[in-house]
Amino acid sequence: MYLTGIADEASQDIEQQIKATKELGWNAIESRFINGKNIHDISEDEFKQVCDALDGSGVFINAFGSAIGNWGKDVRDDFSITEEEIGRAIPRMKALGAKFVRIMSYKVLDQDDQLVEERIRRLRKIVDSFSSEGITAVHENCMNYGGMSWQHTMELIQAVPNLKLVFDTANPAFNLDRSKEGEPWQDPWEFYNKVKEHIAYVHIKDCLNPTPENNNREVYVYPGEGDGCVKEIISDLKAIEYDGGISIEPHLAAVFHDADSQNKTDQDPKEIYIRYGKHLMEILRGIGFEHHPYSP
C-alpha cells in the first residue's frame, strides 16, 4: 500500500505541492488543481512547468482527480465537453505515467428520471477511452448518480465493463441514501462493505454528519474523528491485504464542491495538509498497516 494525496489542498503551486509531499516522506501526488485549474485544463506552458518541477524531484503523479462527469456536470449537456476533457487528460497522464483517473457519473438531476441509460452509455465510452490507453478509470462515490447509494454504485459497476471504484470514506456521511425509506444519511461502513471488492483506490476524508447545530452542513475533521468510519475501513483494508493507493483529501482548508462550507480557516493549508497526513500515518502505525513508496 502506498500513500498519496490531493496536494492542491496544500497549495495551488506545483512546487509547494511537491514540498508538502516530501515533508510527509511520500513520493506521490494525486493531481487535481494547478493554479486554480484542473490539470487537464491548464495551458501547455503550465503543463510543461509541472513536468519540469516534477522531473528529478523524486515525486510522481499517480492519479488525476479529473473533472470528468463530476458533480458540476449535467448528463444532458453535449458529450463533446466530456470527450474534450478525455482528449486533454490522456496524453498528459501518459506523459506523467499516471495510472488512475478519478471520474464521476454526472450530477443528480432535480427530477425523477435520472437518465440512467445515457449515464451508462457515456461511462462506457469514458472507461473504454482510458482502458485502451492502459489507464484505470475509478468512479468516486460523491454527489453524482453513483453516489446516491451503494446500490446505485453497483448498478454502474454491473453495467460498465472495466469500471473500478475510488471509495471516499466521508462522502456517505453527508449524502442521503436515496435507496432507503426516508432517505437517511448513508452509512460509510455499509457502503464500503457492499462495494469493497471493486475498490481499486481509496480517498481518506472524514466529517461529522450534518446537524441543525452545524446549519445542516457537514463539518470536516481529521481522520478518525468523524462519522466516516475511517479507522474501521482502514483496519479492514489491512485485513483484506489491500495494496493500492490511499490518498488524503482533507477538505479542512478547502471544500471544492461547497462554497458555503463550515470549514473556514486562517491556518496555512500546507500545514493542515501535512498534519492530516501525519494523523493518517499514526492510524496506520497503530494497526501495523505498513506502506511503501509509490512505484511509477
Identify any residues that bridge with 138 across adjacent strands, giving them in sequence order. 102, 164
- Burial track 22-34 (b if 16+ CB lie within 10 A, e otherwise): eebebbbbbbbbb
The pLDDT of residue 259: 44
Say if strands 28-31 and 60-64 run parallel, antiparallel, or are unpaired: parallel
**292 within domain boundaries:** no
pLDDT in tens, 166-187: 999 999 999 999 999 999 999 9
| Domain annotation covers residue 282 | yes
Confidence of residue 256 (pLDDT cuts 50, 70, 90): low
- Per the domain annotation, does 176 fall within a domain? yes
Pairing of strands 199-204, 164-168: parallel
- CB-CB contact of 60 with 296 (8 Å): yes
As a whole number, the mean pLDDT across the chain is 96
Question: Domain range spanning residue 267?
Answer: 2-287
Query: Within a domain: residue 140?
Result: yes
On whether residue 35 sits in a domain, the answer given is yes
Three-state DSSP at 284 gives helix
**pLDDT tens digits for range 77-126:** 999 999 999 999 999 999 999 999 999 999 999 999 999 999 999 999 99
Residue 253's pLDDT is what? Answer: 85
pLDDT at 189 over 60: yes
Average pLDDT (29-37) is 98
pLDDT at 260: 45
Count the helix, strand and coil residues of the chain and give each as a percent rounded to the nearest 5. 40, 20, 45
Residue 118 within any structural domain of the chain:
yes
Q: Is residue 6 part of a domain?
A: yes
Asked whether residue 90 is domain-assigned, the answer is: yes
> What pLDDT was estimated at residue 264?
56
pLDDT of 150 over the 70 cut = yes
Grid cell 506545483 — which residue?
Answer: 14
Helix (H) or strand (E) holding 119: helix 116-131
pTM: 0.95
User: What CATH number did the domain enclosing 100 receive?
Assistant: 3.20.20.150
Q: What is the pLDDT of residue 267?
A: 86
**Number of domains into which the chain is organized:** 1
